[in-house]
Chains A and B, each alone.
Chain A
Amino acid sequence: MNFRRIKAVAFKEWRETVRDRIFLLLAFLLPVLWMLVFGYGLVLDVEHIPLVVVDRDHSALSRDYLYRFTESRYFDFKGSLTSETEADAWLLSGKARAVIVVPEKFGERLLAGQPAHVQTLIDGTFPLRTDITKGYVLAINSALSGELLADYVARTRGLSREQAKTLVQPIRLEVRYLYNEEVRSAWSIVPALIMFSLMLAPPLLTALGIVREKETGSIYNIYSSTVSKIEFLTGKLTPYVAISFVNALLLWLLATLWFQVPFKGSFGLFLLSSLIFVLTSTGIGLLVSLMVSTQVAALIITMVLCTLPTILFSGLIVPVSSLSPGAQVQAHLFPGMYYTNIVRGTFLKGVGMNVLWADMLALALYAALLRLVAYRLFTKRPRS
């Protein structure tokens, strides 16, 4: 290995990248723009569910009950209907995702100490939304039930309201939210977005950079030169690793200064693991570039290969523990998950090497393995 030759290859690659102004601009703009758009825009909480109600009772109690829905930030009240068949049309067109039907004699029955059935129709196309909607409805129902029950018990047993409340609800659940005490969506999204950006952009930069040479044929200059395989690969990757590492820093600054996400861990640890991660993700691009011969193929394959596991299997949205066993295996085969643990760990949890060493080791092995395979696959004497 000759250091001067690596430097020459890296320098040539850097020149080429810098000369393509749009490419260079996009390479730095991409992660920053994504973080701004997703940091503000990607809200994972389910709120503002469009709701219509059918009130067949028209009593004071039914109005009070429905008022709890229309006032809740979880629901967006879209209107009051007269019949269920009308509600069908609203659900069918997607203008409403849930319908509450209050039956006749709702108020009367409850005041008389009898249970009342309330029907909820929910659009089931999006299971997450359905599930959470159900939860909200149950929560509002049980809140009102609890009050009614306490009133009832107080009346019939001659207890004070406080006593009746204890009787009805003897156990209180005290919830303490850890690591993200105010449960801000942005705090859990923004650190993970560093993973998102560094998982998607660097492989593409790398793959395009190498396949470009193959497609235009300028790689024959390398084949016929004295540059060895390892020198070429190292030099070629250096500018992309550097760009991506600078992006990691920019994203860190954006997360801590702009989004004000607390960074509780060690900065050195973050830097080191980001470097390892960047080496891994550029390694994926390298591997793809060695298997294809056109930039179109490189583009499609890196995008398909990286986008979907990054969105689905890396803990960005769905925690890995919630995946099915088969998908968990996939998640472990993909580097994104380990880095998500590291960024969330260093940002929100403030844990150190003693917790994160396994994730770092996995990434380092991954990076090494990718380079080893790439080294084996790359040949200066292509058969064609």
Chain B
Amino acid sequence: MIVSGVPRSKRAAIWWGRLMVMTRKELIQLFRDVPIVVFLIYSFTLSVYISGNGLKSQLHNANISVYDADHSFSSRDLIHKFQPPFFSFAGELSSSNEGQYRLDRGTVSAVLDIPPRFHEQLAAGEPTAVQLLVDTTNSPQGLSAASYAARIVAQFGQEASLARFGGSAEASQNLPVIVSDHRVWYNPDQNETWFESISHLLRMITIFAMLLPATALVREKERGTIEQLLVSPLTPLLIMLPKVLAMTVVILCAMAVALFGVMQPIFGVPIRGNLVLLFSLTALFVFTTAGMGLFAATITKNQSQVGLLTLLLIAPMLMLSGVTSPMEAMPPWVQYLMTLSPLRYFIDVVYGILLKGNGLKELWGHVLAMGLLGGSLFGFGMWRFRRQFQ
């Protein structure tokens, strides 16, 4: 504790000086661990590139095989409509049993079965049906494949019947149909590298923000060096805060590298909002997430325990906060649970600032939520820490 009688300004200067010294200590300690540094660099550069480049969350190239019992002009025409990017044609089958065989092996994910007399019936204006077998071991993808196929077949049927009446494209102009005009905002070309590289960046920030401060604190407890710090003129705040501060600095630098070194130049991710706001809110997010890590650190005794505990917490954060699949469809209890996940707010902040050009006007609610969450976690961690050591 600080001796009374020293002027206020001087006390503040001492406090800041100690904060800086301790932060420097944490940074030195971190950068001595070469494997961590290597992985930090990998995570924010190469790995952002790989996942931005490689992932497609939409239905892409669903392998489809066709059993064509008709072999007519119409059936071939229909088969031709199953095109990339949604479907990729994986060959014709010689029997319908072969379809099941290929589905079992997972070499195709859908089989289209066109009946004999398909062309005849179509030309005669009789109703006909084609069958689609879909692998639904991955249910959303199976449903998507079915809905695309339904769209293709419906359109094909409509065109065929129009053609039968000698109707041309112009004739359809005079039919009572609803024409959809879609306008996609914020990412008009539906460039998936934007979404995937941003969500990857968010995942990496979360992992590092949670783990680094937590393990740094537990390590001191485990090795007993914490006793040295406690006998020094440092308050618990001055022991915990520098750990967060050091990691915040490191993570902000890493994010800058990812953003300006990979995402902007290679993928063309736009930065439509304010960069200062983005980095300040990232700092807030790191603080909040670190608070969660420190909380885990104060209730565990060694690094193995804190490792498992943070893994336990981090997996739901990564999977359910909305980076992997949209929040809206999650059951209500998950949505309530995720109000405790700082990542849930940070996602909207980052996508909002980068893609939508959001400012504080739209984001203040999220900022407040992150601040409150971080403040209470950090406060609780401090309270536990004091109780354990004083």
User: Which residues of A approach B to under 8 Å, CB–CB?
Assistant: 20, 22-23, 26-27, 29-30, 33-34, 37-38, 40-50, 65, 76, 91-94, 97, 109-132, 134-135, 137-139, 141-142, 144-146, 148-149, 152, 166-181, 183-185, 187-189, 196, 200-201, 204-205, 208-209, 212, 291-297, 299-301, 303-304, 307-308, 311-313, 315, 317-319, 321-324, 326-328, 330, 341, 344-345, 348-349, 351, 355
Contact = CB atoms under 8 A, between A and B. Distances in A.
Given A33-B312, A297-B35, 15 more contacts: A26-B312, A27-B308, A40-B334, A43-B329, A111-B176, A120-B183, A127-B187, A145-B178, A149-B177, A167-B161, A173-B150, A201-B308, A209-B304, A300-B36, A318-B57
Interface stretch (B199-207, B249-257, B275-283, B374-382): B199-207
A120 B59 contact: no
10 contacts: A38-B316, A45-B140, A118-B178, A125-B195, A170-B161, A183-B139, A293-B35, A296-B211, A308-B200, A330-B54
Contacts, number: 411
Contacts of B5: none
A180 B139 contact: yes
Given A20-B302, A91-B185, A178 B136 contact: yes
Contacts of A135: 144, 147-148, 151
B181 A180 contact: no
Given A139-B151, A170-B122, A299-B215, A177 B175 contact: no
B185 A124 contact: yes
B175 A127 contact: no
Interface string B144-162: 1011111101101110110
Interface stretch (B16-24, B99-107, B227-235): B99-107
B384 interface: no
Given A183-B143, A296-B215, A355-B105, A124 B188 contact: yes
Interface in B288-324: 300-305, 307-312, 314-316, 318-320, 324
A204 B316 contact: no
Nearest to A134: B182
B31 interface: no
A42 B325 contact: yes
Contacts of B135: 178-179
B70 interface: no
Contacts of B186: 123-125
B318 A319 contact: no
A187 to B, nearest CB: 7
Residue of B35, B161, B207, B208 ringed by the most chain A CB atoms within 10 A: B35
B60 interface: yes
Contacts of B126: 166, 170
Contacts of A175: 131-132, 134, 146, 149-150
Interface of A is mostly: helix
Given A169-B158, A173-B150, A180-B136, A26 B207 contact: no
A42 B320 contact: yes
Residue of A178, A208, A291 ringed by the most chain B CB atoms within 10 A: A178
Contact of B36 (A20, A167, A296): A296
Interface residues of B, number: 125
A297 B36 contact: yes
Nearest to B135: A178
Contacts of B143: 45, 183
B137 interface: yes
Contacts of B334: 37, 40-41
A145 to B, nearest CB: 4
Contact of A41 (B35, B130, B192, B333): B333
Nearest to B181: A119
Given A317-B325, A321-B62, A92 B132 contact: no
Given A47-B329, A327-B50, A307 B207 contact: yes
Given A34-B315, A41-B330, A324-B54, A291 B140 contact: no
Contacts of B184: 122, 124, 130
B33 A295 contact: no
9 residue pairs, one from A and one from B, having the closest CB atoms:
A327-B54, A124-B187, A171-B157, A128-B57, A26-B308, A41-B334, A180-B136, A124-B184, A295-B303
Given A111-B176, A300-B39, A127 B330 contact: no
Contact of B304 (A37, A94, A139, A212): A212
Contacts of A344: 137-138
Interface of B: 33, 35-36, 39, 42-43, 47, 50-51, 53-63, 103-106, 109, 121-122, 125-144, 146-151, 153-154, 156-158, 160-161, 173-188, 190-192, 195, 200, 203-204, 207-208, 211-212, 215-216, 219, 300-305, 307-312, 314-316, 318-320, 324-326, 328-331, 333-334, 337, 348, 351-352, 355-356, 358, 362
Given A22-B301, A110-B176, A124-B188, A173 B140 contact: no
B52 to A, nearest CB: 10
Contact of B320 (A33, A41, A131): A41
A114 B176 contact: yes
Contacts of A196: 315
Contacts of A149: 175-177
A185 B135 CA distance: 13
A270 to B, nearest CB: 15
Contacts of B314: 303, 307
B195 A295 contact: no
Nearest to B112: A173
A170 B128 contact: yes
A43 B153 CA distance: 28
Given A166-B127, A322-B59, A129 B146 contact: no
Contacts of B200: 308
A188 B137 contact: yes
A174 B130 contact: yes
A130 B326 CA distance: 10
Contact of B180 (A125, A130, A141, A152): A141
B330 A43 contact: yes
Nearest to B326: A129
A115 B182 contact: no
A46 B312 contact: no
A111 B157 CA distance: 23
B130 A171 contact: yes
B106 A121 contact: no
A268 B329 CA distance: 37
A311 B54 CA distance: 13
Given A303-B311, A321-B63, A321-B109, A50 B328 contact: yes
Residue of A131, A292, A326 ringed by the most chain B CB atoms within 10 A: A131
Contacts of B134: 175-178
